[in-house]
Amino acid sequence: MRPESEAELAEIIASATGPFAVQGGGTRPVGRPVEAATLSVAGLSGIELYEPGALTIVAKAGTPLAEIERVLAAEGQRLAFEPMDHRGLLGTEGEPTIGGVVAANVSGPRRIQVGACRDHLLGVRFVDGRGTVIKNGGRVMKNVTGYDLVKLLAGSYGTLGVLTEVALKVLPRTDVAATLIIHGLTPAKAVAAMAQALGSPFEVSAAAHLPEGTDGGPVTLVRIEGFEASVAYRLDRLSDLLRGSGEIERVTDPDAVAKLWSGVRDVAQFQGRPEDVWRLSVKPSDAPDIVAKMPEKAQAVLDWGGGLIWAACAPGTDLRATIGPFDGHATLIRASKQTRSAVPVFQPEPAPLAAISAGLRAKFDPRGILNPGLMAEPGGMSR
Amino acid sequence: MQMPIPNPEIIAKKARIVERLQSVLPEDAVIHDPVETRAYECDGLTAYKCPPLAAVLPSSTAEVAAVLRICREEGVPVVPRGSGTSLAGGALPTADSVILGVARLNAVLETDYANRFIRVQTGRTNFSVTGAVEENDFFYAPDPSSQLACAIAGNIGMNSGGAHCLKYGVTTNNLMGVTMVLMDGTVVELGGAHLDAGGLDLLGVVCGSEGQLGVVTEATLRILRKPEGARPVLMGFNSNEVAGACVSDIIKAGVLPVAIEFMDRPCIEASEAFAHAGYPLCEALLIVEVEGSPAEIDEQLGVILQIARSHDPVELRESQSPEESAKIWLGRKSAFGAMGQINDYMCLDGTIPVSALPLVLRRIGEMSKHFGLDVANVFHAGDGNMHPLILFDANKPGDLELCEDFGAEILKLCVEVGGCLTGEHGVGIEKRDLMTSQFTAADMEAQLWVKDVFDPAWLLNPAKVFPLAITETRRAA
Amino acid sequence: MKTEFTPEQLKDPAIQRSNEILRSCVHCGFCTATCPTYQVLGDELDSPRGRIYLIKEMLENGRPADAKTVKHIDRCLSCLACMTTCPSGVHYMHLVDHARAYIEKTYKRPLTDRMLRWTLAGILPYPKRFRWALLGANLGRPFRGLMPDPRLRAMLEMAPKQIPPVSRNDDPQVFAAQGPRKMRVALMTGCAQRALNTDINDATIRLLRRLGCEVVIARGMGCCGALVHHMGKEAESHKAAAANIRAWMAEAQGEGLDAIVINTSGCGTTVKDYGHMFRNDPLAADAAQVSRLAMDVSEVLMKLDLPAAVIGLSVAYHAACS
């Protein structure tokens, strides 16, 4: 089903007799497979308000991300959290929507500097499992009026409600971006170097470590953005700071820098390969140990200074079981439907928190018709 | 402002409740003598007050859990309290409630520079979090005006902001994890030293829930390396409109200052008389601050000053020294104290889209005449967070009510132009009854579901945030 | 903050002043951040804001002080750090002084408290008696276990084992300036300090003379009165203060005084407040002048031309809390 308005969507949900698989552009099929009729939000499209002087944009949930980025670029602005495009990694087609970005709380390498999608989300409108239209937040940057359901909805994968409109904070684009590449570091040394860079006053906007750079060896990347003179100054200072880590290369060509980081953002390294892909959010300094515990043939890409691990490992592997308990969480992003039905896609929660999450879903979607089971553990409650 | 009628059954069994609390806490941690409970009858909002049944001062998460378990069993409402600096009455008790103060939970538990976080107990003050890491050139970014005294617990409860959140965000953007005790005594961990949630973002909804979902006893906070330097510039303009347009142009130009503060004429005059910061006596004043190395600052200020000049300022003063920077900030930082010298005041906290600034200031001026009460405006202009200070005489009968009516009109105006009732102070009791102007019944019902799940007995800070009428059946259940 | 005094109550000048102070407090809580007792105890009642609240209650109701209120007011160290933090300029000192006097008038302390206070008030402000007491403490230290009151026991433990000999510099006299005279100043020699640390006054005199001050030790000067003042013993504190005012004014009206130098910050705070203490007294004008002349030794040094450091010493400066 593909409603064209919020009212129509609300009506469809209110009168529903069975469950729905909620979809924006359909480019991010993450989660436990949901067998249900597709409910597409792509028909709710369009930018409703854009105030560059107030750094805010409001758009219907089905608005293509590309359209938003185009409109922002025309005013020299952007979504600073650098949302990832999942199509390459997941082999999907279609048009990513802003609602999908929010529902999956999708961020990219700059998350470490400016925050995640949820940190830029100012307000939402959504339809709950009863078919009621609910709004929360607004379109101003500081707002503590009532509970922050905005955060709760971000990353809830359509299990609490179907987003119809989102308001986002936008930021000015930076003039210039440059990258320092350190060659040949082990994950441990790379994480230490990235910690040094991120703990400096030089406003690093991204820090990643790839097992295979263009020369086939590991590369550690540190990005700086800003005004031209400022970037040049900070490149010098960071080069001095990191001199002891290894051989440093500078990349200042805009296209080359953009390509490097879209590759990190979209995990180009693991695109078009047969393995399962896991995404782990960890304490950065734990990353080397966790990587060392992974199965022998697994490969890891580190982003967020080590705080984000993308791991590719043999299909069907339960990576959590292999690496044991750690501070953070793991999500199985790419795997066959079979694996995603057998291995918990989202990190299992301790009992009291699982009860709260289940309780919230029961309140927002009492009939269990919105993406039922998508975030649930296999064999667990349908919610 | 109405508070729920206290439950006589609870008051009748005070002795037993006190005795049970004393069985799990040291003697000096249970305050129950009516002479002493008085000091806990209000917070930074003194217009409303009511001594609690008792106040408890636990020193550990385990003690907090023990207290909550007892209160849950006895059906006693619990009002969590940090430093009691809320301007919204967030820690106002009722006669049948127990105040749970976290002031004794003030330790630093872990500092981790490699991973850029600090873990503290939540009774610790905001300022002393930065104090714990500044010798290594790090800082904790959210800086509410009360940062010297306010507790991290309260910051989390209200999702506090500050002058520098244009660049660094508010509490929720700098909070990585908490240890929280639920009303039944269960201790849960949300988030931690990693980023983002693995499932539903429960941490996100706990932050700003005004102590209604659980009692947060420990927090993992993001710390940042201090910038190489910062420099403010002072700009004076002959109208609010021009100052507003200047703010908008600065933001559009692609430079992002760390702070843009706005003061209107009444505020400038009062601050100048009190603090002698050397402000020009004009209609509107902006303080714009940027950060970085000296060269980076020069570059950013070059752009900003050029924009300012195009708006025909009456004053344009770039700080040349740390002393001058301090002086530029002095008047702004003294604004509240300066107002206190003139009379009692009520500090509002609405947020508006920046573009609505001239309209809103004009309307506030008109209302000021209508109500016969003076008002001064201080404003985090970069993010539209206004702080109109309405002056009144608390000892003059009827003045407080007049002031409240005036405040309500201003906040409704904020909502009308696309903003909200509160940007960083929280709803508390102060704005509770205005919630209906911003939210529909369904909007609020969805929020109540969250409380239903975290605190099914509705015992945590139950008389706040939502109009009493819509929570009545839940509180009574 | 709203107050509820009757017009009748407000006729009392002390209440009137306290009302003014209470009205200026907005209950913001900034003072809690710098209060040493709140830092340690974490209880609102042991913070300036909590004490202000207790005082407000006590004065508004016009009732005798109760044991709990007294406990929390007693715990205040009168360091007045809170006054440096208060954004609204609340004069906590005058309020707590009023409260202490009120407590002294309306509250009967337990016998042990009264004895302890009587002892302290009778010994500490008098250097000779204090010196004898310190000697006695040395004799009594082996028997401290027998002391019934833990507070007395603690005092015994703290008493220094070595007591410096009397410094004749503390006797009434005039020390000439070295080199041309730039200032004529009176030095407050204090009370307990004259028994415990005689070297402080000796050093102050040397330094001031070297920097061109004629230093007067005025006849008739004694304790500043702070100790009994903080016990709420108004009559006694005013008596001590009046003696000082007369002693210094005799000098001021004689050969003249450019400053009254005080090297104990707590005493300085009290002397600077004589003007307020005597505002409704025949000594008002003299007291006000003494308060104007009173300066901490560091304030005086700022006015004198300090020679540039010639030997590269690093020094630590400890800013006093009061």
Query: Given the DSSP bridges, would you call strands A121-127 and B215-222 parallel, antiparallel or unpaired?
Result: unpaired
Ramachandran class of B346: left when φ > 0, alpha when ψ lies in -120 to 50, beta otherwise = beta
Q: What is the pLDDT of residue C320?
A: 78
CA quadruple C231, C237, C238, C239: dihedral sign: positive
Q: Is B31 in Cβ contact with C54 (below 8 Å)?
A: no
Task: Choose among C29, C49, C88: nearest Cβ to B341.
Answer: C88
Task: Please tell me the distance from the alpha carbon of residue C97 to that of residue C114, in angstroms, as a whole number.
Answer: 19
Q: Which of A163, A53, A74, A159 is nearest to A117 (CA)?
A: A163
Grouping H, G, I as helix, E, B as strand and the rest as coil, residue B263 is strand
- C232 alpha carbon, distance to own chain's centre: 12
Q: Where is pLDDT greater, at B466 or B274? A: B466
Q: Is C23 in Cβ contact with B149 (below 8 Å)?
A: no
| Maximum alpha-carbon separation in chain B | 71
Phi and psi at residue A287, to the nearest 5°: -55, -45
Region B394-419: what's the mean pLDDT? 95
What is the helix (H) or strand (E) element at residue B22, kind and residue range? helix B14-24
Region C79-105: what's the mean pLDDT? 95
CB C213 within 8 A of CB C182: yes
Q: Is B touching C (3+ C-beta pairs, cut-off 8 A)? A: yes
Region C224-234: what's the mean pLDDT? 93
**Cβ-Cβ contacts under 8 Å, B431 against chain A:** 145
Is it the case that residue C160 has pLDDT exceeding 90? no
Best mutation target among B112, B113, B116, B196 (most A Cβ atoms within 10 Å) is B196
Task: Please tell me the distance from the alpha carbon of residue C131 to that of residue C98, in angstroms, as a whole number.
Answer: 31
**Cβ-Cβ contacts under 8 Å, A56 against chain B:** 353
Number of other CB atoms surrounding residue B132 within 10 Å: 18
Q: Is C33 in Cβ contact with B340 (below 8 Å)?
A: no
Task: Choose among B46, B103, B337: nearest Cβ to C42.
Answer: B103
Task: Choose among B40, B57, B83: nearest Cβ to C29.
Answer: B83
Q: What is the pLDDT of residue A380?
A: 57
Q: Calculate helix-pair angle for C13-24, C92-106, nearest 10 degrees.
A: 140
Number of other CB atoms surrounding residue B239 within 10 Å: 14
Task: Choose among C29, C41, C72: nearest Cβ to B149.
Answer: C29
Q: What is the pLDDT of residue B342?
A: 86
Region B354-381: what's the mean pLDDT? 92
Summarize pLDDT for B437-475 with one digit per residue, the tens.
999 999 999 999 999 999 999 999 999 999 999 999 999
CB A112 within 8 A of CB A307: yes
A291 touches chain B (CB under 8 A): no
Number of other CB atoms surrounding residue C74 within 10 Å: 14
Task: Please tell me the distance from the alpha carbon of residue B109 to that of residue B118, in angstroms, as a whole number.
Answer: 8
**Cβ-Cβ contacts under 8 Å, A152 against chain B:** 200-202, 204-205, 450
Measure A112 CA to nearest chain B CA, in Å. 9
Q: Is A touching B (3+ C-beta pairs, cut-off 8 A)? A: yes
Q: What is the pLDDT of residue A216?
A: 87
Q: Is A199 in Cβ contact with B225 (below 8 Å)?
A: yes
Task: Please tell me the distance from the alpha carbon of residue A359 to that of residue A338, in angstroms, as a whole number.
Answer: 27
Chains with 3 or more CB pairs under 8 A to chain B = A, C
Best mutation target among A58, A119, A141, A236 (most B Cβ atoms within 10 Å) is A141
Q: Residue B132 corresponds to which tokens in the numbers above?
A: 């714990």
Q: Is B193 in Cβ contact with A357 (below 8 Å)?
A: no
Task: Please tell me the distance from the alpha carbon of residue A78 to that of residue A178, in angstroms, as a whole number.
Answer: 18
What are the angstrom distances between the C-alpha of B365 and each of B100, B121, C167? 41, 44, 69
Q: Where is pLDDT greater, at A380 or C97? A: C97
Query: Given the DSSP bridges, would you call strands B344-347 and B284-291 parallel, antiparallel or unpaired?
Result: unpaired
CA atoms within 13 A on the CB side of A287: 35
DSSP state of A7: H
What are the angstrom distances between the C-alpha of A151 and each of A97, A105, A314, B446? 18, 9, 34, 14
Report the residue of chain B nearest A125, measured CA to CA. Answer: B443
pLDDT tens track, chain A, 383 positions: 999 999 999 999 999 999 999 999 999 999 999 999 999 999 999 999 999 989 999 999 999 999 999 999 999 999 999 999 999 999 999 999 999 999 999 999 999 999 999 999 999 999 999 999 999 999 999 999 999 999 999 999 999 999 999 999 999 999 899 999 999 999 999 999 999 999 999 999 999 999 998 788 999 999 999 988 899 999 999 999 999 998 999 999 999 999 999 999 999 999 999 999 999 999 999 999 999 999 999 999 999 999 999 999 999 999 999 999 999 999 999 999 999 999 999 999 999 999 999 999 999 999 999 999 999 988 655 44
DSSP state of B47: S
Region B362-390: what's the mean pLDDT? 93
Chains with 3 or more CB pairs under 8 A to chain A = B
What is the helix (H) or strand (E) element at residue B80, kind and residue range? strand B78-81
CB B349 within 8 A of CB B422: yes
CB B104 within 8 A of CB B58: yes
Summarize pLDDT for C192-222 with one digit per residue, the tens.
888 888 999 999 999 999 999 999 999 999 9
Q: Is B209 in Cβ contact with A201 (below 8 Å)?
A: no
Task: Please tell me the distance from the alpha carbon of residue C224 to that of residue B450, in angstroms, as a whole number.
Answer: 62
Residues 6+ apart with CB under 8 A from C204: C187, C261, C263, C297
Region B379-404: what's the mean pLDDT? 92
Region C142-167: what's the mean pLDDT? 83
Q: Is B380 in Cβ contact with A172 (below 8 Å)?
A: no
Phi and psi at residue A99, to the nearest 5°: -65, -40
* Residues 168-227 of chain A whose Cβ lies under 8 A from any Cβ of chain B: 171-175, 192, 195, 198-201, 203, 226-227
Task: Please tell me the distance from the alpha carbon of residue C209 to that of residue C193, in angstroms, as a whole number.
Answer: 20
* % chain C with pLDDT above 70: 100
Summarize pLDDT for A172-223 with one digit per residue, the tens.
999 899 999 999 999 999 999 999 999 999 999 999 999 998 788 999 999 9
Q: Residue A117 corresponds to which tokens in the numbers above?
A: 């999608």
Residues 6+ apart with CB under 8 A from B244: B284, B354, B355, B357, B358, B381
Q: Where is pLDDT greater, at A91 or B248? A: A91
Phi and psi at residue B323, to the nearest 5°: -65, -40
E-strand ranges in C158-238 read: 173-175, 183-188, 213-217
Q: Residue A131 corresponds to which tokens in the numbers above?
A: 């078919």
Is it the case that residue B369 has pLDDT exceeding 50? yes
Q: Residue C84 corresponds to which tokens in the numbers above?
A: 């440096």
Measure C79 CA to nearest chain B CA, in Å. 18
Best mutation target among B85, B92, B100, B125 (most C Cβ atoms within 10 Å) is B85
Q: What is the pLDDT of residue C156?
A: 82
ipTM here: 0.97
Q: Which of C200, C213, C316 is nearest to C262 (CA)?
A: C200
Q: What is the pLDDT of residue C37?
A: 97
Task: Please tell me the distance from the alpha carbon of residue B336 to that of residue B387, in angstroms, as a whole number.
Answer: 10
* 3-class SS shares of chain A: helix, strand, coil, % to 5: 35, 25, 40
In single-letter form, the type of residue at position A43 comes to: G
What is the helix (H) or strand (E) element at residue C37, kind and residue range? helix C36-41
Best mutation target among B200, B383, B447 (most A Cβ atoms within 10 Å) is B200
Task: Choose among C30, C41, C45: nearest Cβ to B149.
Answer: C30
**Cβ-Cβ contacts under 8 Å, C38 against chain B:** 103
Region B375-394: what's the mean pLDDT? 91
The per-residue pLDDT of chain C, averaged, comes to 92
Task: Choose among A55, A105, A151: nearest Cβ to B251.
Answer: A55
Number of other CB atoms surrounding residue B399 within 10 Å: 18
C87 touches chain B (CB under 8 A): yes
Measure A316 CA to nearest chain B CA, in Å. 20
Task: Please tell me the distance from the alpha carbon of residue B456 to that of residue B184, in angstroms, as a whole number.
Answer: 10
What are the angstrom distances between the C-alpha of C298 and each of A113, C208, C261, C301? 47, 11, 9, 5
A55 touches chain B (CB under 8 A): yes
Q: Is B226 in Cβ contact with A149 (below 8 Å)?
A: no
Number of other CB atoms surrounding residue C219 within 10 Å: 11
Q: Which residue has the tokens 């309020």?
A: C95
Task: Choose among B189, B197, B419: nearest Cβ to A138.
Answer: B419
Task: Please tell me the distance from the alpha carbon of residue C152 to that of residue A133, in angstroms, as a whole number.
Answer: 72
Q: Which residue has the tokens 């650098």?
A: A82
DSSP string for A174-219: PSEEEEEEEES--HHHHHHHHHHHHTSSS-EEEEEEES--TTSS-E
Task: Please tell me the distance from the alpha carbon of residue B259 to that of residue B431, in angstroms, as a whole number.
Answer: 26
Task: Please tell me the distance from the alpha carbon of residue B361 to that of residue C74, in angstroms, as a whole number.
Answer: 48
Task: Please tell me the distance from the alpha carbon of residue B313 to that of residue B331, in angstroms, as a whole number.
Answer: 19
